[in-house]
Amino acid sequence: MKLVIITAVEEFQKEVLKLFKKANIENFSSSDIDGHKNGASILMASSWFSGEKFGNESRLFFSFTEDEHIEALFQFINEFNSNIETNNPIKAVVVPIEKYI
C-alpha cells in the first residue's frame, strides 16, 4: 500500500475525479487549498495592490491504495497533462507506507 497525493487547479477537479474512477481508486479524500507560484503574473502586475501575493484555488486529493491502481492513475495523468493548454498540470507524488492500521 502507498499514499498517492495529487494537486490540481480547481478547474480540473471533475477531471481528477474521472481519473480516479478510471484507475479504480474508489476511496480518497480531498481538500480545498491555495496554490502559489513565486514570480510575477499578469494578475499580480495588473492588481492595484501588486505587492500582495495571490493564490490559485486548487484541490488536494490523496488516497491510500495499491501499486497497480497508482500506475494506472499516473498513466492517465500523463495523458491528461499532454493535452492541456495551460501551465498548471495535474501533479502527483507517491509516498511509501511502512506501517498502517
pLDDT at 87: 87
Instruction: Give, in degrees to the nearest 5, the angle at Cα 44 between 39 and 50.
Output: 105
Q: CB-based burial of residue 13 (10 Å sphere; 0-12 exposed, 13-18 middle, 19+ buried)?
A: middle
Question: What pLDDT shows up at residue 53?
Answer: 53
20-77 per-position pLDDT tens digit: 999 999 999 999 998 777 765 545 454 444 455 566 789 999 999 999 999 999 999 9
Domain layout of the chain by residue ranges: 2-96
% of residues, the chain, pLDDT over 90 = 64
Q: Which helix (H) or strand (E) holds 3?
A: strand 2-9
pLDDT tens digits for range 61-73: 999 999 999 999 9
Which class does domain 2-96 fall in? alpha beta
pTM of the model: 0.80
